[in-house]
Amino acid sequence: MVNTGYTSGSRPLRVGLTGGIGSGKTAVADLLAAQGAAIIDTDAIAHALTAPGGLAIEPLRRAFGPSMIGADGAMDRARMRELVFADPQAKSRLEALIHPLIGQEAEREAAERQGVYQVFVVPLLVESGRWRERVDRICVVDCDEATQMQRVQRRSGLAPEMIARIMNAQATRAERLAVADDVILNDGGTTPAQLADRTLAQHRAWLQRLPSP
């Protein structure tokens, strides 16, 4: 019998997967999905919430005014990014509006999804502070900053100054490691094959934690 991680009256094992921009969260999540984990991607949820017709659009319009909603009906991301970089209070207001909606949607998805266990991919898990009680394990994809910078530059072509701004607004490597239950190292010396091996080893360790069928 396949151990689905579900027993009557209990919920499946929940892992919160985090790491800085370019650390390799998506790469790890893809590898875990191939092993049968249900992936709940809070970045994708945030995008859907702020897309045309998304649940956050009307609250955003009320809180920030119509100029933050583009002609297509989506949140104007570039404009919002500039606002929150310049104004910490606006950043707090945006987070107070969007984080509960992300949490709610993540729970809704989790209730609908099967999987050996569940992985919530949360880029700002350490920063937002509300995830500790939602997950059983916090897993950090760990990477040095120089490699993060290189990977993001290669992937997105963003200017180094913009990447540095994003990284400075995120928790530090040490802050993430301080709250990690599990760590998958994906630094500059890590090959894709090594990342796959380390992820599989972590997957097996989580399987050991599942309730017996």
With 0-12 CB in 10 A as exposed, 13-18 as middle and 19+ as buried, what is 121? buried
- Cβ closest to ligand ADP, residue 28 vs residue 57: 28
Q: What residues line the site for ligand ADP (CB under 6 A)?
A: 19, 21-27, 151, 155, 186, 190, 192, 195
From CA 110, how far away is CA 12, in angstroms rounded? 10
44 contacts: CB under 8 Å, gap ≥ 6: none
CB of 39 to ligand ADP, least distance (A): 12
Minimum CB distance to ligand ADP smaller for 68 or for 143: 143
Taking the complex as a whole, how short is the minimal distance between the CB of residue 175 and ligand ADP, in angstroms? 16
Q: Least distance to ligand ADP from the beta carbon of 194, Å?
A: 7
**Closer residue to ligand ADP (CB): 4 or 150:** 150
Reduced to 3 states (helix: H, G, I; strand: E, B; else coil), residue 212 is coil
127: its two tokens: 């920063």
Smallest gap from residue 61 Cβ to ligand ADP (A): 29
C-alpha 134/C-alpha 122 separation (Å) is 12
Instruction: Rank residues 52 and 192 by Cβ distance to ligand ADP and give the closer one.
Output: 192
Round the CA-based radius of gyration of the chain to a whole number and report it.
18
